[in-house]
Amino acid sequence: MGSHAWLGSPDPGTGRQSGAGGGGGGREGHRSHLALIVRSPGIDQAAIRDAVRQILAAIGEDPGREGLTETPMRVARMYAEVFDGIQRDPREDLYRVFVADQHEEMVLVRDIPFYSMCEHHLLPFYGTAHVAYVPDGRVTGLSKLARLVDGFARRPQMQERLTTQVADALVEVLAPRGALVVVEARHLCMEMRGVEKPGAVTQTSAVRGQFRRSAATRAEAFSLINRGRV
């Protein structure tokens, strides 16, 4: 894994980077959710501060009372942090690749913690992601897989879309033989409101290429993900 290369930027018309091969992952008829990536011109913290003051007043609070005077500023800064994935294309974390002609076995990073915000209620959902792929001559740094998850999580999001976007990014940038992503999360929008079911865990998965075609490869991945669990 000594040599490395930089893949080109995505073509604005196709979303595919220069230098990428066809790969065995394949699209298999899946509509790419990567088209939902939106680059923001920047987070307007002043507008957020004004909006928070209005919300506090609308719920019957006094935005000027002690304890709330700095809340609009804190919320604006917090939004700039937790939504910073909007400002960039998470696929950029994958563009540095290493030639690995001799490695054709599964690469799996499991138990990647993440935090995101439900786009329906702007309440947090959080959990772990497990990301696996079978290389086809190229690998990326292990930390890049964690950064990829964070990039898609740090925006108003749905768990289903988050799972699919991570898998599709792996396929489109690395062109692996296959990719598999499993996300497990708790949603405060269904724990502290609505049906109020604390502790409920939602699991989603996305499988591409060899993981979809081969039950044995898929079973190996799930076995590794579940290893050590009671």
Task: State the catalytic residues.
Answer: 118-121, 159, 187, 189
**CB-based contacts of 78, cutoff 8 Å, min separation 6:** none
Q: Are 197 and 187 in contact (CB under 8 A)?
A: no
Q: What stretches of 36-171 adopt beta strand conformation (E)? A: 96-99, 107-118, 124-134, 138-140, 156-157
| Separation between Cα atoms, residue 143 and residue 113, nearest integer Å | 12
Q: Which residues pair with 203 in a beta bridge?
A: 184
| Separation between Cα atoms, residue 119 and residue 158, nearest integer Å | 6
Residue 199 buriedness (CB in 10 A; 0-12 / 13-18 / 19+)? exposed
Q: Which residues pair with 112 in a beta bridge?
A: 129
